Amino acid sequence: MVKLVSVRATRMYGPRDSEAACEFANAFSYLVATILILSGFVLMLPGFDHKVGLIVFAVALALILLVNLHDMYAQLAGVDYRFGLLASDPQLALVEFGAPLVHTIGAILFLIAVVFMLQVNPSIVSFCFC
């Protein structure tokens, strides 16, 4: 998640007792997804099975998608789903809701691309990644 340090230090929109646990879970999930993406890229190198690499890559993208959807849900639940606050508070709109929304859209599009690549001829996939 792209978050500004000042946002976490100055304004909190959610419940304070569970906030640290959720932030650590999100950070750990992103760490696992990063390791899976790196593993997927390595598995797409020549000499490895490209299909397994794409599957690992798809799992990582699904994890990133879930973390960002959870983050958007938590931010909106923290303000009781009052969408009017998005118009009056640019920090909430851009940093707390906009950044996870852009990441979610990007993960969905990338996941669609990976699913299409799983269905094409493996020689085309090997040509793309070599």
The DSSP secondary structure of 52-117, one letter per residue, reads HHHHHHHHHHHHHHHHHHHHHHHHHHHTTT-THHHHH-HHIIIIIIIHHHHHHHHHHHHHHHHHHH
Question: Rounded mean pLDDT of 70-79?
Answer: 77
pLDDT surpasses 70 at 52: yes
Q: How far is CA 52 from CA 19, 23, 115, 124, 127, in A?
A: 36, 30, 12, 15, 16
Question: Rounded mean pLDDT of 65-81?
Answer: 80
Q: Encoding tokens for residue 67?
A: 């973390």
Residue 51 lies in a domain: yes
**CA nearest 86: which of 10, 23, 13?**
13
Confidence label for 14 from pLDDT (cuts 50, 70 and 90): low
Residue 77 lies in a domain: yes
Question: Rounded mean pLDDT of 89-118?
Answer: 85
Residue 2 lies in a domain: no
What's the domain count of the chain?
Answer: 1
Confidence label for 4 from pLDDT (cuts 50, 70 and 90): very low
pTM of the model: 0.73
Residue 125 lies in a domain: yes
Mean pLDDT of the chain: 78
CA distance 29 to 32: 5
Cα 74–Cα 78–Cα 79 angle in degrees, nearest 5: 130
Q: Could you tell me what percent of the chain has a pLDDT over 70?
A: 73
CB of 22 closer than 8 Å to CB of 78: no
Q: Could you tell me what percent of the chain has a pLDDT over 90?
A: 28
Least confident of 12-21, 94-103, 114-123: 12-21
Identify the domain containing residue 46 by its residue range: 16-129
Residue 8 lies in a domain: no
Question: Rounded mean pLDDT of 97-115?
Answer: 90
pLDDT surpasses 70 at 51: yes
Residue 66 lies in a domain: yes
